[in-house]
Amino acid sequence: MITCSKTYRDIPLSHRQPNHTGRCSRLHGHSWSITLTFESKELDDNGFVIDFGDLHFIEDWIDEHLDHATAVWENDPKLVKLNELENEGLIKLLAVPNASCEGIARYLHKTFDPIVRKRTDERVWIRSVYLQEDSKNSATYQSSD
């Protein structure tokens, strides 16, 4: 197996932890960085695991879904109110199974891996997603393949 990684930095995204007993229960933002590690058994004709120049679809997805967005748990007790804010154009909402750093890392893996596999005819997959909240906190989700 051989891997390579691509990092997307300075993604403004807010989130909240509705069950947290401290400040994290409030909407708050971070400057996020996403590092995707791609894996393959073989290199392509150019000697790449994946051509970084062909990854515009990932950057487009990040811009559309994460940039200046708010990630919340899909079962957040304030989801109706948050949806109202989105409908009023005040926030861009992304409801995910778990809006913690760990949960978002897993969500991004589950989102990007099938797309990468399809675009490479199953030759490449995402081995891991390393997600940083600012420069202080991080989580890694790694596939078991």
What is the block-wise mean pLDDT of the chain (145 residues), using blocks of 10 residues? Answer: 97 93 90 98 96 96 97 96 96 96 97 97 97 95 83
Give the span between the Cα atoms of 32 and 120, in whole angstroms: 27
Backbone φ and ψ of 134, nearest 5°? 55, -140
Give the span between the Cα atoms of 91 and 29, in whole angstroms: 12
- H or E element: which one contains 42? none
Specify the pLDDT at position 129: 98
Specify the pLDDT at position 145: 61
CA dihedral 3, 9, 11, 16 (to 10 degrees): 70
